[in-house]
Chain A
Amino acid sequence: MNPHANMIIMSSLILGPMITITSNHWIMAWVGLEINMLAIIPLIAKQHHPRAIEASIKYFLTQAAASSLLLFSIINNVWNTGQFDITQSTNTMSSTMMTAALTMKLGLAPFHYWLPETLQGTTTMMTLILTTWQKLAPLTLLMMINQSLNTSLLVTLSLLSMMIGGWGGLNQTQLRKIMAFSSIAHLGWMTMILTLSTKLTLLTFYTYITLTTTMLLTIKLLETNKMSTAMTSWTKSPMLNAMMMLNLMSLAGLPPLTGFMPKWLILQELTKNHMTIIATTSAILSLLSLFFYIRIAYYSTITLPPNMTNYSQQWRHKNQQKPYLPLMIITSSMLTPIMPTFMMIM
């Protein structure tokens, strides 16, 4: 890409959420979201083939609709409360509309339809940015207005997200679509606990970023995008392949890996608030996503020669080493014993 364009786009991409996160004024927050959206559209369409362009158009349409809904709810809020302060937006109707708008931006059910196709249509690094960096701004806004949000609405949305994230990913073979559904399910866990404890939302978000980044960087290094090519990834880097299994189990939330920590704390918070049945339901729904993670782990790590499945040999290129990946793998597997530190930090 043209270096000038690249510089402008990259800096806008970083600037957007920074403006949103650090603002008190609703319009500035909205401006940050818009800058972010405009910056990432050409990045998604970088490859110029029809699938990427379709992905960027889908992204644009949904995000633009969500932004306009957000702007409308901001104006409604201003009309009712008379001020633009984010933390004091207490009007019920506008908070509900803001919830709808922000969950559409995040990709929560029932507004998730754009996410799998957008993540599939673009490169792996763009998938990484879309699932991690793009979630930062809307989640921050949700956390700032969390007192005025309706708990039942959020719990409904999050249970629906967990269901869709679980059941939707079952039929997928493309790894980026699987990461999309995993993103939907994890965002469900994050928004479940939003009104009860924003600390835990933040902890879940950080854990999710670590795990997803590790997974997508592993996928990039092993140059696989589908389950069929994942079967031969053991030839490219056997150790990383084995560690991918641990990372997948961590995404699924199996103790004693890191991914279990937010789930445990969320369940504890829900149980303390006497939402026991919701806690049990959400815990069991996470088993659905466990199935497709385990399936990837089976295909890539566990069925190795001489017990082979059908696969076709691939071109092997020089491994693009990512030096920070081992550290990320350790972070994604071993943080549960130091859980009290995280509770203290947040």
Chain B
Amino acid sequence: MLKIIIPTIMLIPTTTMCKPTQLWYTTLIHSMLISLLSLQLFYPSLQPIMNFSNHNLQQNQTSTPLIILSCWLTPLMILASQNHLSTEPLSRKRTFIITTIILQMLLIMTFSTTDLIMFFVLFEATLIPTLMMITRWGNQMERLNAGTYFLFYTLMGSLPLLVALLSLYSNTNSLSILTMQLSPTMLKNTWTNSMWLLAALTAFMIKMPLYGLHLWLPKAHVEAPIAGSMILAAILLKLGGYGIIRIMSTTNFLSKTPYYPFMILALWGIIMTSLICLRQTDLKSLIAYSPVSHMGLVTAATLTQTEWAYTGAITLMIAHGLTSSLLFCLANTKLRRIHSRTLLLTQNMQLLLPLMGTWWLLASLTNMALPPTINLMGELTIITSLFNWSNTTIIITGLGTLITATYTLHMFSSTQWGELPQHIKIMTPSHTREHLIMTLHILPMMLLMMKPELIWGPLYC
């Protein structure tokens, strides 16, 4: 594990000391090499050998795909930021890259730690670089408000989480994830235990986000620069999912009533946010609301605590991470050209930028969970496990899938088909760099289609 963490930390001095003209591609190539190194973490998933573990940092099949995704995303973030940072002075470019690298390091450690308090500290620590990215390099005045919402929503949930973890520690005297998974405690349905569950889960629910607590998400995603949006959508939301999976594997309530509020909000949120997506005029806002509905599926699944549910949740988290990040990159290419996020200002881009149209098509198809993509595998597994839990959820999840397809198609047709707008005189052709970003997003998705066992989590036999 250190062979990934130490090169990542060492990338910080590299950034400060390399020549100015070589800044971008040095950091890009080195972070790509680190992500190549991280791919070997898949090895224990294929055979039951634990080579990469010590007492403090371990990975199992839940966290390995997420670590690899965060390592994979850093070069993509560096690639995507090159354009909007080109006018900044050198020291600020370096600061931005260093923020990205610190975020990657914290995320790797968050996903691989074995102690829940260390997980909490690192979970909170990811807030600071993200806050800096959103408020420092965002574009509009609203970014300050977005940063405040982001910080306060997350902290409001995570301070009770700290107290819940500490009370678990005072009861069981150990917060190691490994030992907790071996002895799931049977909890009676007292008020205290319900409050404990509320405190423990709220932080992750806010991060996911759950429907009623999701207001920070559109603000933060829209105001963030492209790298911020990518990392937020792809990984930081999955921190919540990962946390829920860890907590839920260790608690077992005698009666499932405390889970009902979260379940209801999650299921209802799938429909509501998909419908909100249909009504958005802002492209980035549309893409920002779609994680809420996908993560609603993930939340509802993890709350049912069955094997298929966990499998589906992890699969959908990875698949959705790649898809959402891809959609944000596509929206950014459009933003860079017309400097506006309005959906209807660019139509018939298929005529002007045909290859980008291919990427839009692939992104839309994976977003609406076309077979045989991994998005579909995740969603179908989740829908099946929810159907097993309660038959009537099929109405909600089926309707959610339908509306997802609708808004994705609406987004695709608004940008790619239609009448060419008269006011656009100059449309610069796509850069190779942009095509490279899209390819690097789509390639893992296609390859994972071939071998999805890698992201099926620990409960797949």
Contacts and interface: CB of A to CB of B under 8 A. Distances in A.
B121 A287 contact: no
Contact of B152 (A260, A267, A272, A291): A291
A268 B121 contact: no
Given A287-B152, A302-B132, A303-B144, A271 B166 contact: yes
Given A255-B125, A267-B162, A280 B199 contact: yes
Contacts of A294: 147-148, 151
Contacts of A290: 151-152, 155
A267 B167 CA distance: 10
A279 B91 CA distance: 42
A62 interface: no
A336 B128 contact: no
A268 B166 contact: yes
Interface residues of A, number: 28
Interface in B119-137: 120-122, 124-125, 127-128, 132, 135-136
A106 B339 CA distance: 55
A302 B132 CA distance: 7
A264 B117 CA distance: 10
Nearest to B125: A256
Given A279-B163, A302-B132, A302-B135, A291 B148 contact: yes
A254 B152 contact: no
Contacts of B125: 254-256
A284 interface: yes
Contacts of A264: 117, 121, 162
B163 A255 contact: no
B169 A254 contact: no
Given A256-B125, A303-B144, A272 B159 contact: no
B128 A284 contact: no
Nearest to B132: A302
Contacts of B167: 271, 276
A287 B148 contact: no
A242 B147 CA distance: 17
A287 B153 CA distance: 10
Contacts of B124: 254-256, 260
B166 A280 contact: no
A280 B148 contact: no
Interface string A256-285: 100010001001100110001001100110
A284 B155 CA distance: 8
A284 B135 contact: no
B135 A298 contact: yes
Contact of B159 (A242, A271, A280, A303): A280
B156 interface: yes
Given A272-B170, A290-B155, A303-B144, A260 B121 contact: yes
A290 B170 CA distance: 28
Contact of B156 (A271, A272, A284, A336): A284
Interface residues of B, number: 29
A302 B136 contact: yes
B46 to A, nearest CB: 34
A227 to B, nearest CB: 14
Interface in A293-312: 294, 298, 301-304
A231 interface: no
A279 B121 CA distance: 17
Interface string A224-258: 00000000000000100010000001000011100
Given A255-B124, A255-B125, A272-B170, A284 B144 contact: no
B127 A280 contact: no
A283 to B, nearest CB: 4
A336 B121 contact: yes
A271 B148 contact: no
A292 B263 CA distance: 36
Nearest to A268: B166
B7 interface: no
Contacts of B258: none
A268 B173 CA distance: 12
Task: Please indicate which of the listed interface residues B121, B151, B152, B159 has the most CB atoms of chain A within 10 Å of its own CB.
Answer: B159
B84 to A, nearest CB: 13
B170 A256 contact: no
A255 B120 contact: yes
Interface string B284-318: 00000000000000000000000000000000000
Given A256-B125, A267-B162, A268-B169, 10 more contacts: A255-B121, A267-B163, A276-B167, A280-B160, A280-B199, A283-B163, A286-B159, A290-B151, A294-B148, A298-B135
Contacts of A280: 159-160, 163, 199
A256 B103 CA distance: 13
Contacts of B169: 268, 271
Nearest to A278: B163
11 contacts: A242-B95, A255-B125, A268-B166, A271-B163, A280-B159, A283-B163, A287-B155, A287-B159, A290-B155, A302-B144, A303-B135
Contacts of B132: 302
B144 A298 contact: yes
Contacts of A254: 124-125, 127-128, 155
Interface string B97-128: 00000000000000000000100111011011
A267 B158 CA distance: 13
A255 B127 CA distance: 9
Nearest to A260: B121
B103 to A, nearest CB: 13
Contacts of A242: 95
A271 B159 CA distance: 13
A178 B155 CA distance: 21
Task: Please indicate which of the listed interface residues A271, A272, A294, A298 has the most CB atoms of chain B within 10 Å of its own CB.
Answer: A271
A106 to B, nearest CB: 25
A256 B162 CA distance: 13
A25 B231 CA distance: 61
A294 B166 CA distance: 27
Contacts of B166: 267-268, 271-272, 279
Contact of B136 (A272, A287, A304): A304
A238 B91 CA distance: 11
Contacts of B163: 267, 271, 276, 279-280, 283
